[in-house]
Structure 1
Amino acid sequence: MEFDTIIVGGGSAGSVLAHRLSARSHHRVLVCEAGPDVKPGEEPPEIRDSYSGTAYFDPRFHWTELKVHTQIVSHNNPDERPPLRKYEQARVLGGGSSINGQMANRGAPTDYDEWAARGAEGWGWQDCLPYFKKVERDLDFDGPLHGKEGRIPVRRIMPENWNPHARAAAEAFKGAGFDYLPDQNGEWRDGYFPITISNENETRASAAMGYLDAETRRRPNLTISCETTVKRLLFEGTRCVGVVALVRGQEQEFRAKEVILSCGAIHTPAHLMRAGIGPATHLRDHGISVLHNLPGVGQGLMDHPSIALSSFVRKAARVDERTRRHILLGLRYSSAMEGIPPGDMFAAVVSKSAWHSVGEQVGSFLIWVNKTYSETGQVRLASADWQAEPVVEFNLLSDRRDLDRLMQGFRMCAGMLMAPSLAQVTDNPFPAAYSDRVRKIGVINAKNRFLTNVISRFLDGPAFLRKAFIERFVVEGFQFDEVMTDDTALEAFIRKATIGIWHASCSCRMGREEDPMSVVDTEGRVKGIEGLRVVDASIFPVVPRANTNFPTLMSAEKISEAILAGH
């Protein structure tokens, strides 16, 4: 079958591209999505849910075999390799936007000026802002920074509808001297604010919902093929001419004038390397013929390093019937570390830590390095087998400044918990880790529902029993008093517990032609290859100070316009 464009991956970027490119009636578009479809009006309730914890832990929507290293990997000391962690990478139409936290923010204007300075010319803030506005339909604010006609509705849950835990955290932020900012996507400065979300009428607004609606799907020139896994790219010389895919188990070949990889920052570089595009030595080590030596493929993988400080939330202060949302409030602040720009840190107030009854009793500060300098992560092949998940090493905290700022942030948030407003509604603070035990109990099933119901009764019981139970069954290795009084213990906790926040990016970076580590040009075209582009978070020159979904949507809007202008 012949198409003008084949899009490999129906996630956030793929949904935008499919909608925009197929708007030209003679342009034939095929979307190959490995996961299930989510047809308009028939989305599973877990995906539609305003509370994201249900979809996020549902293995129906994941690449279930994908595991990653988050800590620094020492290749000289294989016995000291950190443990592999499951990584919840979306495998469903709409991609991450169908299961993520629905955060709809952009980052700092200077992030995109840095993109341009690093070689992505034409991607400065003033170049990108029109496409951010094109994405969104802001239900709360108007003006030069906001879009009103985009495919994705965005809104905020204002303070009058916050639960008591979120209101208490806001009081603590105010008491610490931070300003209240009504609009997270307004002027970039420090302060606390209602989190901006891609959500309308208490329902998720994914890229699939916004861009692949019923009207778009009726276009005769658009084919959406779900449960379709691309095995390999097809080439004639150095021109990509199509793909070979398994469509519900049956192998098929599709041809096109151009192929776009939109598989995310982990699977996109793996596709390139299996096709012979990447670091030549690494490819030869796996018996892969080198089509084009591109050393930057898979290199520079980034995420935002994060840790959590949790506490028991008293019954009267928990998430209530006003909204299913569990993260209502955020704090952007500056570490004031020399040479680091303002707004480099973020703390999200999480009023419910999981879908189950214990999760309803635990609130957290989720603290992350918004402006990270850890840029040594990488994606490599485990083998040439297309079914083998790649080797993923995020190498978080490879820059000491990231570790120092998480230590600083942990202690700052611990101080917030001591503020009168939070002290009244919380108890038993503890350093939290997203461990395998937490992951296992986070899987939605009858056994975990029963277990957590039993545990929750102990937690709502007498204070002495709750304290003993948390120390025995919840805390993993580090006590609150220990990390607050011992720098060595706090550093050890952070090194062990730090994870990313599922913002994988930068593994196929945009850059100048002469930059040996750049992979694509400023329109996503793969260097040295014809008929092949990359459009997803892997092309970011550096991860912005933002949740990555909206920067990904913006990038897809910008490049889709460039593609149409070039035809």
Structure 2
Amino acid sequence: MYDFIIVGGGSAGSVMAHRLSARSANKVLLCEAGQDTPPGNEPPEIRDSYSGQAYFDPRFHWTELKVTTQIVSHNNPDESRPPLRKYEQARVLGGGSSINGQMANRGAPTDYAEWEARGAAGWNWKDVLPYFKKVERDLDFDGPYHGKDGRIPIRRIPHEHWTRHSQAMGEACKLAGFAFLPDQNGEFVDGYFPVTHSNQDEQRVSAARGYLDRETRKRANLTISTNTVVKELLFEGTQCVGVKALVDGREQEFRGREVILSCGAIHSPAHLLRAGIGPVGHLKEMGIPVLMGLAGVGQRLMDHPSIALSSFVRRGARMNAHTRRHIQMGLRYSSGLPGTPAGDMFVAVLTKSAWHSVGEQIASLLTFVNKTYSETGQVKLASRDPRAEPIVEFNLLSDRRDLDRLMSGFRKMAALQMSAPLKAVTDKPFPASYSDRVRKIGVVNTKNKVLTAIAAVLMDGPAALRHYMIDNFIVEGFTFEQVMRDDEALEAFVRKAAIGVWHASCSCRMGAADDPMAVVDTQGRVKGVQGLRVVDASIFPVVPCANTNFPVLMSAEKIADAMQ
């Protein structure tokens, strides 16, 4: 019998396991479907500062998970469904923090004012800042915005160590009138900056590495069970009393005083739905007895819509010996669209777009809507079978303001791309899409390594050959000239190419007791049932203007603190 059973060993689960087991009276079980990442013996792809290999390695994914990003029309059933895309949801200890881009930012103070306004009392900026500081050990900065004693080290690549491509982008931003901000996590204002990342000594520091270190693993009251797939939540009446799981393929039951779902914004709502907690109509449609009718389960799923403008990077401006970090600088700017807050847009500057030889020659300006208004996504069950992945519809760009800002963002990036500093180090800009072809060549295997090595030699050859290869093998559907000349072509490109940036959130939102769409209270407790919490990105009332890893770590620290 355990006091706490945590389902999911990702960012939130790692924090919860560390904090709850710090009290020796608590007996804690952490269940993770994926493999372990033992301290000091993590797979090299995960330890690497460059995230592009872990990110595309199927050993670390839920390989059957597919999603739609384009808008799904439910009013017009005859309209053809948009294509399904593979979704790289982490299945490994440390979760997303073991394979993500290691970006370590927090969002805007206005985000957390909105959380409170939407019913998450006690989650405004002054309430959450102490927990952001508790997470981190900032290696570069001190002061009121920064933590110095946390489990996750934070650092930045200094400007002098940036690639020539990143430096050129910095010069282009300066010429365009943007201020240089030495500290992205200082005051939330517009400007360009070295991005903050969770990394030390050129190695990733995942939540597993930071929170489930050797000392933590020695605790007699903590059991970490990897290769453990939770199939079912066990209930007695409306009290959650444990889980049924497959441990290395063998079925086992674990009983606990409280179960904490930390499976992320796709799998946490799926667990609730299979247990009979969710929208009554959907549960009845699936033939699942209703345990607790909660209309918000799986609803209003969010992500940050993004598009990319890519270009060929000339020799000498590519990755250098100082770091394997391919995202060294970022730009935060305000769209100026009426009603939107300052800093509503974000650009991540990638000198390298993939792990392979061609990826090393292609840079990207990845622009995403930091403050998105598209919140009509949903997670539904495809089947009652726990082995079946749920139906996931992100419905990106369901709010016209997101489409308009990606279009204007693309034009803004094009202007920077055509400025003298970037033109000097790049060639042949093109609108990029994360298509199935790009995905396939991105899978880490020998065939792709050989193919891209040959292609890269040709790309470094005569300009005419390079342009021919980009037009015929990389660009899909739209050329740079087309989208810059024709607004309709630009809109069509953005609608087709926009994808999320793996920041799935908000599908089990926390809110006030009288909010019919709230799923959990401000401590993650599921409404109407006992002994069950959700602690992960799904409880966000709205996705913040940030990569979601640090807001998840903060949320887990805050809820763990409230539970002590």
Q: What TM-score, normalized by structure 1, do the two folds share?
A: 0.99
Alignment partner of 1:56 is 2:75:
no
SS at match of 1:156: coil
Match of 2:38 in 1: 39
Between the aligned partners of 1:474 and 1:533, the Cα distance in structure 2 is: 45
SS at match of 2:447: helix
One-letter identity of the residue aligned with 2:44? P
Alignment partner of 1:164 is 2:150:
no
Match of 2:463 in 1: 463
Match of 1:193 in 2: 193
Alignment partner of 1:8 is 2:7:
yes
Match of 2:292 in 1: 292
Between the aligned partners of 1:114 and 1:414, the Cα distance in structure 2 is: 32
Between the aligned partners of 2:100 and 2:325, the Cα distance in structure 1 is: 12
Match of 1:543 in 2: 543
SS at match of 1:424: helix
5+ unaligned residues in a row in structure 1: which ranges?
A: none
One-letter identity of the residue aligned with 2:317? A
Alignment partner of 1:154 is 2:149:
no
Between the aligned partners of 1:93 and 1:528, the Cα distance in structure 2 is: 31
One-letter identity of the residue aligned with 1:176? A
Between the aligned partners of 1:407 and 1:368, the Cα distance in structure 2 is: 11
Between the aligned partners of 2:418 and 2:202, the Cα distance in structure 1 is: 33
Alignment partner of 1:417 is 2:423:
no
Between the aligned partners of 2:248 and 2:463, the Cα distance in structure 1 is: 54
Alignment partner of 1:375 is 2:375:
yes
Between the aligned partners of 1:477 and 1:454, the Cα distance in structure 2 is: 24
How much does 1:107 deviate? 0.3
SS at match of 2:331: strand
Deviations 1:378-419 (A, max 9, x none): 000001111100000000000000000000000000010111
One-letter identity of the residue aligned with 2:265? A
Match of 2:553 in 1: 553
Percentage identity across aligned positions?
Answer: 73
Between the aligned partners of 1:241 and 1:474, the Cα distance in structure 2 is: 52
Between the aligned partners of 1:462 and 1:235, the Cα distance in structure 2 is: 67
Alignment partner of 1:282 is 2:282:
yes
Match of 1:491 in 2: 491
SS at match of 1:111: helix
One-letter identity of the residue aligned with 2:137? R
Match of 2:230 in 1: 230
Deviations 1:511-547 (A, max 9, x none): 0010000000000000000000000000000000000
Between the aligned partners of 2:520 and 2:11, the Cα distance in structure 1 is: 19
Match of 2:250 in 1: 250
Deviations 1:50-94 (A, max 9, x none): 000010000000000000000100122344210000000000000
One-letter identity of the residue aligned with 1:311? S
SS at match of 2:130: helix
Between the aligned partners of 1:471 and 1:41, the Cα distance in structure 2 is: 44
Match of 1:204 in 2: 204
Between the aligned partners of 1:207 and 1:455, the Cα distance in structure 2 is: 37
Alignment partner of 1:350 is 2:350:
yes
Deviations 1:82-130 (A, max 9, x none): 0000000000000000000000000001100110010000000000000
Match of 1:269 in 2: 269
Match of 1:26 in 2: 25
One-letter identity of the residue aligned with 1:315? R
> What does 1:391-410 align with in structure 2 at a 5 Å threshold?
391-410=391-410
Deviations 1:468-517 (A, max 9, x none): 11111110000110000100000000000000000000000000010000
Between the aligned partners of 1:78 and 1:416, the Cα distance in structure 2 is: 42
One-letter identity of the residue aligned with 2:16? L
One-letter identity of the residue aligned with 2:320? D
Between the aligned partners of 2:51 and 2:233, the Cα distance in structure 1 is: 34
Between the aligned partners of 1:325 and 1:535, the Cα distance in structure 2 is: 30
Between the aligned partners of 2:441 and 2:468, the Cα distance in structure 1 is: 20
SS at match of 1:80: coil
SS at match of 1:14: helix
Between the aligned partners of 1:346 and 1:79, the Cα distance in structure 2 is: 33
One-letter identity of the residue aligned with 2:84? L
Match of 1:477 in 2: 477
Match of 1:74 in 2: 73
Match of 1:366 in 2: 366
One-letter identity of the residue aligned with 2:89? Q
One-letter identity of the residue aligned with 2:2? F
Between the aligned partners of 2:78 and 2:419, the Cα distance in structure 1 is: 45
Match of 1:215 in 2: 215
Match of 1:102 in 2: 102
Match of 1:133 in 2: 133
One-letter identity of the residue aligned with 1:77? P
Between the aligned partners of 1:61 and 1:417, the Cα distance in structure 2 is: 35
Between the aligned partners of 1:469 and 1:41, the Cα distance in structure 2 is: 42
The alignment of Structure 1 onto Structure 2 pairs a total of residues equal to 563
Between the aligned partners of 1:216 and 1:340, the Cα distance in structure 2 is: 43
Between the aligned partners of 1:22 and 1:210, the Cα distance in structure 2 is: 15
Between the aligned partners of 1:476 and 1:524, the Cα distance in structure 2 is: 43
Deviations 1:228-258 (A, max 9, x none): 0001000000000000000000100000000
Between the aligned partners of 2:360 and 2:3, the Cα distance in structure 1 is: 49
Match of 1:527 in 2: 527
SS at match of 2:73: coil
SS at match of 2:242: strand
How much does 1:226 deviate? 0.2
One-letter identity of the residue aligned with 1:440? K
Match of 2:92 in 1: 92
5+ unaligned residues in a row in structure 2: which ranges?
A: none
Match of 1:329 in 2: 329
SS at match of 1:525: coil
Between the aligned partners of 2:159 and 2:39, the Cα distance in structure 1 is: 32
SS at match of 1:241: strand
One-letter identity of the residue aligned with 1:491? E
One-letter identity of the residue aligned with 1:211? Y
Between the aligned partners of 1:563 and 1:3, the Cα distance in structure 2 is: 16
Alignment partner of 1:65 is 2:51:
no
How much does 1:553 deviate? 0.1
One-letter identity of the residue aligned with 2:311? S
Match of 1:340 in 2: 340
One-letter identity of the residue aligned with 1:49? D
SS at match of 2:155: strand
SS at match of 1:316: coil
How much does 1:26 deviate? 1.1
One-letter identity of the residue aligned with 2:219? R
